[in-house]
Structure 1
Amino acid sequence: MIKLITSVFLFFLVLSSQAQDFSTLWQGYFSFYNIKDVAIGDNKVYGASENAIFTFDLSSDEIETITTIEGLSGETISTIAYSQAYETLLIGYENGLIEIVSGPENEILSVVDILDKQTIPPNLKRINHFNVFDGLAYVSTDFGISVYNLERLEFGDSYFIGNGGSQITVNQTTVLNNAIYAACGNNNAIKRAELSNSNLIDYQQWQTLGNGSFLSVESVGNRLYAIQSNRVIYEISNGGFTALFTYSNLPLDAKAVNKNLIITTESNVYVYNSSFGTLATATLQSELNTKFTAATVIENHIYIGTSSIGMLKTNLSNPTAYEVIGPEGPLMNDAFKIEAGNDNLWVTYGDYTVEYNPYPLRNFGLSHLVEGNWINTPFSSLLAAQNLNYVAVNPFKPSQVFISACQQGILELNDDVPTVLYNQNNSGLETIAANDPSIRQTGSQFDRNGLLWTLTCRVDKPLKSYNPSTGQWRGYSFSEIIQDPINDEFGFGDLVIDRNGTKWMASYKKGVIGYTENGNKIRYLNSEEQNMPDNIVSAVAIDNNNQLWIGTRKGLRVLYNTGNFFDAPNPSVKEIIVLDDGIPQELLSNQFITDIKVDGSNNKWIGTLDAGVFYFSPDGQQTIYHFTTKNSPLPSNSIKDISIDAQNGKVYIATTKGLVSFSSGGSKPEEELSSAFVYPNPVRPEYDILGASNLNDINKGVKIRGITENVNIKITDIEGNLVAEAQSRVNLRAARSSYNFAIDGGTAIWNGKNLANNIVASGVYLILISDLDSFETKVLKLLIIR
């Protein structure tokens, strides 16, 4: 049952850095379901997922996470180990990086020696195992063994122990009777050497025991055990091998913990004493629908990592009932599309190629973050809808959600329950052909009237509308520009609707397509004569000035006059030219742009295939931020999708290795001023938020939220003396001018300085808000205590 609750000397230079904590502005949403390794230490169980760590406190049952937000790299974890003597967690990565987590604040030290070592091929840098002994960590890698001093935090020698001092894979090491044993792959058997030998960099000092490839070697008490790739576990004594047992599945993990030997296969965990007597066997139950990955034992409990449901806890004396342990999170790290709004976030994992080919089909579930809690719906509950991608939330009924399935049609959910799968039999959707039942559904978007617009690839009428209130479907033909829908156009991605009702679509061959039902007009831009850098458009976005921003595989373009698009004789797009050290340059030239989103202040968020995320001012002339893995918690520079919650200004960023959000501090303007408020109020000395020169730091300054689109705000003291003033579209937070008071969409930010650039004194201040369009006014009071 399940209860949810070499002969060549190699000395590494010390190359390390202290990781930065980004938790003030960033938040991570990582998946902890695929556990790579587990470890115990400091009265905690550590679980390593793909690129993050969680801890389970054995005394309090509290769960904490360590992610890129706290300073982890976001790279793919291969192994972990805990040093009780140094109270540190060692994390090894597939690319050779090592990170050391220590102290109550989980300070993170990044050790990049192996990662940056050019004499080692990149494919041989994987960290396979840590063996901590006598203050040293023997690091097993795909090139050999490196020794890391935990006291001095530096590397010493590296041992290349293959024939002739060649680099060979070492999967694991152990120490017994002052001798080190190494389990080697590629038929390199077991290697042994005396630790007292000061010349272990000489491969000839290493003795070869047995033959074949070995997965692991562990000492338990005064016994030595090794597992060969033939699934047989041996006891090694005086150089001889005695076969003890053959496992039905290949052992994935072997650990010696508190004089116990724990062997993990995908379906069983075996716990032995030092004499290889069986203490317990935990067997995978069919209803769990997962695989075991690693295990450890402490306090009469077995903690087992799995491939898809996190960590399991079971009783050592009776391992039949399982308890699921781990933090909440999305189903997977590799999200495909995300949709945010009203403190909700939807995440899909469907994917398709750049040519809109959905194969291989992906039977993945769906994730929904609501009020801080994750609702994960497995594929088995999704009415067989595969390759889920774009999400459209009904603006008049937020509990009703439509998700494109690039094979079956559109999946409708109500209150998180899959209700209807729309296909060729019960809707206006079309299959590719009569003998091909594939409905390649992609971009979807609701218009301001509550009509759902959606795109189907490679059919006669690719653009469809659906009225959820009446159930009426309509299809719109693109035959004027696409005569052969199978071969003339492979597919469509993003779909956006401007203030005139024009539908703008990203396509594979036709570039960007514009369509309006008013006169049934259709036109496209995809040629060099129209200044398009590429005919493959990967992203489109309409900004607050009704301008169309276009992302391609080879750069960025803007269509400024969207209103005249269908009537202009020769419409064309423009590149954005910026000055780089006084030299004119094209903005994002030749960058593969994956997504474009516009926030409440008309600033642009642009994701790229391999260069992270850019945050630009409304005209693109100023780069407010450029986030990468080096200066932010982004776990990858490969951006899949971006979505902005207009109500609170939170920007969600989906990468190939995880999902994070950034609190930009802006928000969507309101229709009226009735809900406007100021915070914090009162401003107390301990807040320490006044006087900051950078209004982009949302942890500083006084915020006025809930304002309308076009306002003037004056701040006066109680006697009516003007202290500060800002106006929408003039005093922009992203402007080059260093404003003390600025307006960002539906939020104004004041750093507490007056017109003389001094921090104001204690007292009561009046905030006078005037809507310049409707003439509505509102007065707020603010108390500052210094």
Structure 2
Amino acid sequence: MRYLLLFLIGCLSVYQPLRAQPIGSWQEHLPYNQAISLAATENHLFTATPYSVFSISSGDQSIIRYNRITGLAETGVQTVFHHASNQLVIAYRNSNIDILNDGVVRNVNALRLKPINGDKTIYHIYGENDRCLLSTGFAIVVLNMVKPEIGDSWVVGNGGAYTKVNAVSSDGQYYYAATAQGLKRAPRSGLNLADYRNWEILSGTAGLPAGEVHKVLYAGGRLMVQQGPALYHLGSGVFEKIYEDDRNWNSLDYSGGKIYIGQQSGQEARLIELNTDGVGLQTITGGGLSDPRQALEFDGSLWVADARNGLLELNGREIVPVIPNSPAATGSGDIVAGNGEWWVATGNALSRFVSGTWTIYNSNDQTLPAGFGNIGPLLADRSGIFWAGSSGSGLLKKEQENFELLKAPLLSPALNDPNSFRVGGMAADGENRLWISNDGAENGLVVRLEGGDFRRFRVPFFYPELSLSQVLVDDANQKWIISPGGNGLFCFNHGAGIENTGDDQWKYYRAGQGNGNLPSNHVLSIMQDAFGFIWVGTNNGIGIVQCPSKVFSSRGCEAILPVVQTDNFAGYLFSGESVQAMALDGANRKWIGTRNGAWLISAGGEKTLQRFTTANSPLPDNDIRKIAIDPVTGTVIFSTAKGICSYKSDATEGSATNTNVIVYPNPVPPSYTGQIAIRGLVNNAMVKITEMNGRLVYQGRALGGQATWNGLDINGRKISTGVYLVFVTDDTRKEQAVTKIVFIQREP
């Protein structure tokens, strides 16, 4: 058997196996250039971002990412802390807690679910023995690290009222709490620390001024207290001020026998290093230091969590960013995807994803023209030119690797802001002419010809703020333009030619019969499906224009509101939902994004095939802003309010011929239990899989240009080790192809 398996593997030497994201799997694409908290073990440094956590190992600095796909419960991280029991505590902004131990995550959600009328945010974590003390906006909460579970809540506010606790520490005899009411302490041996009467206030006595205390820590055998921009230490029962300056403090940390103060004022930031007597040792500036939130010594270097520029390593005088490859930010604008290449509008930067690697373009490092930012709509046209519009700084053209910024005369400034050149949306027609919604301009629709000439068109309706966004060109070469803010939808037909405006036709779609019959005037998204229907997403569901070629006929064409059956109830399609994003896959199925997750529905919209939320998937957030699909790979990209992720779907766009047919994984390893994909097929191809002797194992249809198979034969049994033939044909039997799959059920 061993020699047979080796022979079968050798049979594939003429093939190029595809290493691809398995069907049904997820990948995260979260930004890692904002670092807010650090924690270290002997061998690993953990860094928290607002979206996830990553670690680097000592020595080789290899990176491991921790996120919802790898088992974390949430996306919005608040802080991290490493407990002496070798467990990492991850606190989230919603007060949920994960405990990470040797790659295993245990969730503690009791604080998040605790029904109190107070601020449950975890601002600081202090560890001792078998527990952690969590400083929250209402009290000190005890986290048992053994069980794990939430225990007592120590309400230390005056009169037993809730008060914000900024930090907790101990000198071995007392617990100290830095609170909004001042510094308080209680004996560690106290019998009832949940009783506020056992906590005495120290602020206003012994040299420590009254008022809020922002941080308390035990450093070098001394209790250190931060109050505003001043640092005190407690010695012989008296507080002595040992350092003060005139800047706001972002952070106060003690590591490696030194005190570190992180400060940021406007665009200037610095890290001050002190000894425990308050004597300044050095002041670190520049080198990417922009918004320091925590400093920690690890593996012979000083590390800084910077909220703007990520994790920074300070080795000598050199500051080096250590950031996992990722997009520049969460996707705030559009996404375009095709043939394994994605472009995402990420605020003031463009993020490009190719072959598993992100590349960032922005004006700060001069990879984009100066001043270009607030990026919104994106488009890759048929000639290979990439376009990016902005909400004020014009239109960016990328040809080859050259960028050009276009404003006037192509674009007109907004009437209410002569310095603002706004692009609300873009689309290319069959002649590769670029149609642009010039948001805020009097002539709101612009067409740019391939040679660079342009024409402007005025929308002949009243619409507040002259607000225009997404543009769609349909199969009849008509332009559909969204007017956001509850203004509805326009349809434009330029007639025989764009030069002659005499035969231009416009129609205004709004809610109500006779007005276009949209579900709502608040149009949020639009797409055309493979039937030629125009799908209109609003804040109250979906309307479908099924006769777009008759929009300007004598009878006209209004949207229909499909009625669908859900359980025992019938209702309009996505009624009550804000349909913020829509995308079409290779099988003419519709991916729908709302504030309550993402849906995959059938081609006609009558059936829900899948639904993804944060409760049943690794989506970073239920608020889906954009959806894009790579037609070649079938990868669905979701841009959410808390980051980007991708899902490998089972449908791709059909090819014209059965050429370049790919099977993956191939060979199929013994441990593999997922779907096997046959890609590169003609649309809706028939696929048959047989043994070498011709016995039928499987038969099915492709979804678009891809067929999937679970590896079981027609009787539901797992197939044996061997080589299997894959026969592909279209319904006319003109497009035929044959390839092979190798199955290995035991290791050689």
TM-score (ref. length: structure 1): 0.85
The yes-or-no answer on 1:673 pairing with 2:673 is: no
Conservation of the 8 A alpha-carbon contact between 1:223 and 1:275: no
Q: Provide, for residues 516-570 of structure 1, a one-character-per-residue CA deviation record: whole Å limited to 9, x for no partner.
A: 2335332232131143221121100111111111100111111122222221514
2:494 is matched with which residue: 517, 534, 555? 517
Q: Residues 711 and 665 (structure 1 numbering): CA distance in 2 closer, same or farther, change over 3 Å? A: closer
Which residues of 2 match residues 492-511 of structure 1 at below 5 A? 492-508=468-484, 509-511=486-488
The yes-or-no answer on 1:373 pairing with 2:357 is: yes
1:574 is matched with which residue: 555, 560, 577? 560
Q: Residues 93 and 763 (structure 1 numbering): CA distance in 2 closer, same or farther, change over 3 Å? A: closer
Conservation of the 8 A alpha-carbon contact between 2:108 and 2:150: no
Q: Residues 176 and 23 (structure 1 numbering): CA distance in 2 closer, same or farther, change over 3 Å? A: farther
Aligned to 2:333: 336
- Deviates most, 574-583 or 194-203: 574-583
Query: Aligned Cα RMSD in Å?
Result: 2.3
Offset at residue 606 of structure 1 (A): 0.9
The residue type equivalent to 2:80 in the other structure is I
Write the distance in 2 (CA, Å) between the matches of 1:383 and 1:177: 56
The yes-or-no answer on 1:283 pairing with 2:284 is: yes
Write the distance in 1 (CA, Å) between the matches of 2:532 and 2:23: 35
The yes-or-no answer on 1:456 pairing with 2:453 is: no
Aligned to 1:199: 192
Q: Secondary structure at the match of 2:379?
A: strand
The residue type equivalent to 1:151 in the other structure is V
Q: Provide, for residues 338-394 of structure 1, a one-character-per-residue CA deviation record: whole Å limited to 9, x for no partner.
A: 2222212212145xxxxxxxxxxxxx2222222222221223333312321011113
Conservation of the 8 A alpha-carbon contact between 2:627 and 2:637: yes
2:108 is matched with which residue: 107, 111, 115? 111
Write the distance in 2 (CA, Å) between the matches of 1:688 and 1:432: 57
Aligned to 1:5: none
Q: Secondary structure at the match of 1:329?
A: coil
The yes-or-no answer on 1:256 pairing with 2:238 is: no
Write the distance in 2 (CA, Å) between the matches of 1:223 and 1:112: 35
Aligned to 1:17: none
Q: Secondary structure at the match of 2:550?
A: coil
Q: Provide, for residues 502-529 of structure 1, a one-character-per-residue CA deviation record: whole Å limited to 9, x for no partner.
A: 2222223552322223353322321311
Aligned to 2:388: 403
Write the distance in 1 (CA, Å) between the matches of 2:288 and 2:716: 63
Conservation of the 8 A alpha-carbon contact between 1:493 and 1:539: no
Write the distance in 2 (CA, Å) between the matches of 1:333 and 1:584: 37
The yes-or-no answer on 1:143 pairing with 2:130 is: no
Q: Residues 435 and 271 (structure 1 numbering): CA distance in 2 closer, same or farther, change over 3 Å? A: closer
Q: Provide, for residues 645-684 of structure 1, a one-character-per-residue CA deviation record: whole Å limited to 9, x for no partner.
A: 1110111111111111111132211121121233334445
- Deviates most, 109-118 or 549-558: 109-118
Offset at residue 613 of structure 1 (A): 1.1
Which residues of 2 match residues 471-482 of structure 1 at below 5 A? 471-479=452-460, 482=461
Offset at residue 89 of structure 1 (A): 1.0
Aligned to 2:711: 752
Q: Residues 773 and 383 (structure 1 numbering): CA distance in 2 closer, same or farther, change over 3 Å? A: farther
Aligned to 1:421: 405
Q: Secondary structure at the match of 2:159?
A: helix
Offset at residue 460 of structure 1 (A): 4.0
Q: Provide, for residues 484-514 of structure 1, a one-character-per-residue CA deviation record: whole Å limited to 9, x for no partner.
A: 5xx5563222222222322222223552322
Q: Residues 164 and 372 (structure 1 numbering): CA distance in 2 closer, same or farther, change over 3 Å? A: same
Q: Secondary structure at the match of 1:31?
A: coil
Aligned to 1:7: none
- Deviates most, 57-66 or 538-547: 57-66
Q: Residues 333 and 23 (structure 1 numbering): CA distance in 2 closer, same or farther, change over 3 Å? A: farther
Q: Between the two proteins, what is the percent identity of the paired residues?
A: 26
Conservation of the 8 A alpha-carbon contact between 1:510 and 1:524: no
Conservation of the 8 A alpha-carbon contact between 2:140 and 2:154: yes
Q: Provide, for residues 213-232 of structure 1, a one-character-per-residue CA deviation record: whole Å limited to 9, x for no partner.
A: 11101112321110002x11
Conservation of the 8 A alpha-carbon contact between 2:23 and 2:648: no
Q: Residues 547 and 295 (structure 1 numbering): CA distance in 2 closer, same or farther, change over 3 Å? A: same
Q: Residues 23 and 200 (structure 1 numbering): CA distance in 2 closer, same or farther, change over 3 Å? A: farther
Q: Secondary structure at the match of 1:436?
A: coil
Which residues of 2 match residues 205-244 of structure 1 at below 5 A? 205-210=198-203, 211-229=210-228, 231-244=229-242
Q: Provide, for residues 167-195 of structure 1, a one-character-per-residue CA deviation record: whole Å limited to 9, x for no partner.
A: 1111111110231001112xx11100011
Q: Provide, for residues 699-732 of structure 1, a one-character-per-residue CA deviation record: whole Å limited to 9, x for no partner.
A: 32x3211001243333344444444333xxxxxx
Aligned to 2:526: 540
1:592 is matched with which residue: 573, 578, 593? 578
Q: Residues 784 and 72 (structure 1 numbering): CA distance in 2 closer, same or farther, change over 3 Å? A: closer
Which residues of 2 match residues 614-693 of structure 1 at below 5 A? 614-684=599-669, 686-689=670-673
1:165 is matched with which residue: 160, 168, 185? 160
Write the distance in 2 (CA, Å) between the matches of 1:342 and 1:23: 17
Aligned to 1:386: 373
Q: Residues 416 and 39 (structure 1 numbering): CA distance in 2 closer, same or farther, change over 3 Å? A: farther
Conservation of the 8 A alpha-carbon contact between 1:513 and 1:525: yes
Conservation of the 8 A alpha-carbon contact between 1:388 and 1:403: yes
Aligned to 1:127: 122
Unaligned runs of 5+ in 2: 1-21, 204-209, 497-503
Runs of 4+ in 1 over 6 A off after TM superposition: none
Unaligned runs of 5+ in 1: 1-21, 351-363, 690-698, 727-741
Conservation of the 8 A alpha-carbon contact between 1:335 and 1:658: no
Q: Secondary structure at the match of 2:702?
A: strand
Q: Secondary structure at the match of 1:593?
A: coil
Aligned to 1:359: none
Aligned to 1:297: 297
Offset at residue 45 of structure 1 (A): 1.3
Write the distance in 2 (CA, Å) between the matches of 1:785 and 1:63: 32
Aligned to 1:562: 548
Q: Provide, for residues 99-119 of structure 1, a one-character-per-residue CA deviation record: whole Å limited to 9, x for no partner.
A: 21111xx22222222211112
The yes-or-no answer on 1:601 pairing with 2:587 is: yes
Q: Residues 221 and 783 (structure 1 numbering): CA distance in 2 closer, same or farther, change over 3 Å? A: closer
The residue type equivalent to 2:521 in the other structure is N
Q: Residues 443 and 621 (structure 1 numbering): CA distance in 2 closer, same or farther, change over 3 Å? A: same
Q: Secondary structure at the match of 2:106?
A: strand
Aligned to 1:69: 69
Q: Say how many residue pairs are matched.
A: 701
Q: Residues 386 and 761 (structure 1 numbering): CA distance in 2 closer, same or farther, change over 3 Å? A: closer
Q: Residues 249 and 77 (structure 1 numbering): CA distance in 2 closer, same or farther, change over 3 Å? A: farther
The residue type equivalent to 1:340 in the other structure is A
Write the distance in 2 (CA, Å) between the matches of 1:420 and 1:785: 53
The yes-or-no answer on 1:766 pairing with 2:721 is: no
Q: Residues 518 and 768 (structure 1 numbering): CA distance in 2 closer, same or farther, change over 3 Å? A: farther
The residue type equivalent to 1:308 in the other structure is R
The residue type equivalent to 2:699 in the other structure is E
Q: Provide, for residues 555-595 of structure 1, a one-character-per-residue CA deviation record: whole Å limited to 9, x for no partner.
A: 11111222222215142222232222222122311111111
Offset at residue 401 of structure 1 (A): 1.4
Aligned to 2:14: none
Q: Provide, for residues 297-338 of structure 1, a one-character-per-residue CA deviation record: whole Å limited to 9, x for no partner.
A: 1343210111221111113xx4x2111112111221252222
Aligned to 1:8: none
- Deviates most, 192-201 or 673-682: 673-682
Write the distance in 1 (CA, Å) between the matches of 2:636 and 2:605: 18
Q: Secondary structure at the match of 1:254?
A: strand
